[in-house]
Structure 1
Amino acid sequence: MSEAAKLDRDAIWKDFHEAVNMTASAIEAHLATPESQSVGWTHDGEGEAVGHKEGRRLVEIKHKKKAELSDGDYAHMRKAVGYVHRHLAQGGPADDREHSRWRYSLMNWGHDPLKG
């Protein structure tokens, strides 16, 4: 692997662990809730929302050691970071952030905006 590719992976790893602030078990617990399953966009003909499916993939990634991560894993990590940053920039609702669709959607992607 080239030095540039290694640096890129290091940057993605760092960004991912800053953006995805939930543990694998916390993501899994959230994905099992009706709130998790009630948010997000669904492809025609599919029953599972995109974000819910992405959350399951994040759990797989979080269970891996850094040396076990593939190029596909790093691409998915980058995708998750982008999603979290875009949705945090929206600011969320002014009231009842705790029980908002905005929060549930972010949590599907591994980020709890209420977590310190």
Structure 2
Amino acid sequence: MSAPDDDELWQDFHRVVNMTSRELADWLRTRDAGEDTEAMPDQAGQPTGRQVLHVLGKRHVDLTDDDRRIMRKVVDRVRAERREDLEPVAGQANWRHRLMSMGHDPLKPA
């Protein structure tokens, strides 16, 4: 990936991922907490959510090809389910929760 493409992906990713790493980590732990069991904190949530957390903890210059793949996947999935302007919008709870598990809260201003 060329430097301009990499910069654009970095900006797009941080635009669609509007939850902080702390908010996302808390959300993933909450989603995985069950009545009888709870996942280990570093294993909470779906793999995509954990990968997003991993990327949020990195500097731009430290990105790997795997990081770029997950960033592109998240950008594409959020845009497929949202309008381009990412204006706050309510929807079905399961839709919001699915997006939040990738780091995007559709009720939070972009």
State the TM-score, normalized to the length of structure 2.
Answer: 0.76
Gaps spanning 5+ residues in structure 1: where? 39-47, 90-95
Shift of 1:75: 1.4
Q: Residues 6 and 113 of structure 1: is their aligned pair in 2 closer, same or farther, counting only changes over 3 Å?
A: same
Task: Tell me if the contact between 1:37 and 1:52 (Cα under 8 Å) persists in the aligned partners.
Answer: no
Gaps spanning 5+ residues in structure 2: where? 35-42, 84-89
Shift of 1:112: 0.2
Superposed structure 1 runs of 4+ greater than 4 Å apart: none
Please, which of 17, 20, 23 is the counterpart of residue 17 of structure 2?
20
Measure the CA separation in 2 of the matches of 1:12 and 1:100: 28
Measure the CA separation in 2 of the matches of 1:104 and 1:75: 22
Corresponding residue pairs, total: 94
Provide the residue aligned with 1:102 in structure 2.
Answer: 95
Taking only the aligned residue pairs, the percentage that are identical comes to 36
Measure the CA separation in 2 of the matches of 1:113 and 1:37: 22
